[in-house]
Amino acid sequence: MRVLRENIVPVVFLALWVAVSGYTLHTLGGLHGPGVIEATMDLTVTAPLHSTAHAICPEMADSLTREI
């Protein structure tokens, strides 16, 4: 019984592990992810014509209003 436990059980466990791992890799090999998506985008940022300046600090409000 000791020979069975020390030799056969680890070999059977390893064989099952390899079989399950191989099956999993084979199954996952059939999955395909989405292809590469390429796109371009033009973005222009301008201040609206009738906007008011928003400032975090009251000291900066005058300098921001002058730039707009």
- Kindly provide the b/e burial profile for residues 21-39, where b requires at least 16 CB atoms within 10 angstroms of the residue's own CB: eeeeeeeeeeeeeeeeeee
Higher pLDDT, 64 or 37: 37
Strands (E), 1-68: none
Residue-wise pLDDT for 5-58, tens only, equals: 888 999 999 999 999 999 999 988 887 777 788 889 888 887 666 666 665 666
**Per the structure block, which two tokens stand in for 47?**
């201040």
